[in-house]
Amino acid sequence: MASNPAAANTAPATAAPPDDWMRAISRHVHGMSSGDRAALRRMELTKSPAADAVAIKTLLRAQVPESRIKDDWTRLRLIGHFAGLLSGTAALYPHDEHRGVGAALFEANVSEKRLLRLLASRGEALGDQLALAVRILSRERKPVNLWDIYHLLGDDPVKSDAARLRMARQFYAAQAKSN
């Protein structure tokens, strides 16, 4: 029996698996109005409820379950902010699963010292260091793997440490390749 390729490409609109969240968030940030993207970019400065509403709207449109948004609000809010920064005013796609954050940091001429400061940070300092790194990356106008950032911000020490190691490995591999 032959498979129906049209049926294979039509997934139910309500059941986006977690693996697709970053791609869906990226797609929605790309398609936003410039005002909404600006609200996401400035949300850490303004701390405005309107910016939070834009983040919630983005997450819901990306089909992130409401229970996940409620339980993981701080981390997902930062992902929305970082996606807005990476998208910039040119409405770029902020997520590319094949472009590691570590390699992107090297390509953006981030120093090893800054990388180590980022990787050693925890808690609120980690959010600050990541925001600084993402601002640097946004100037390059290229997307990065938002899953690495998501896991780095998480409470699971295994996934967080794995994200740190992946970023370091990518950075040093890009450095070795350039020599």
pLDDT tens per residue, range 23-71:
888 888 888 888 888 888 888 776 778 888 888 888 998 888 899 999 9
Judged by DSSP in three states, 133 sits in helix
Q: Which two tokens stand for residue 42?
A: 């400035």
pTM for the structure as a whole: 0.74
pLDDT tens per residue, range 61-114:
888 889 999 998 988 988 888 888 888 766 677 787 888 999 999 999 999 999
Q: Which two tokens stand for residue 53?
A: 């509403």
Burial tier of 35 (Cβ tally within 10 Å: 0-12, 13-18, 19+): exposed
Q: Are 92 and 27 in contact (CB under 8 A)?
A: no
CB-based contacts of 57: which residues, under 8 Å, 6+ apart?
36
How far is residue 5 from each of residues 2, 10, 13, 14, 169, measured CA to CA in Å?
Answer: 9, 9, 17, 20, 38
Q: Which residue bears the tokens 């980690």? A: 126
Check residue 10 and give left, alpha or beta (phi > 0: left; psi -120 to 50: alpha).
beta
**Domain boundary assignment for the chain:** 18-94, 96-179
What is the per-residue pLDDT for 175? 94
Q: How much helix, strand and coil, in percent to the nearest 5, is found in the chain?
A: 70, 0, 30
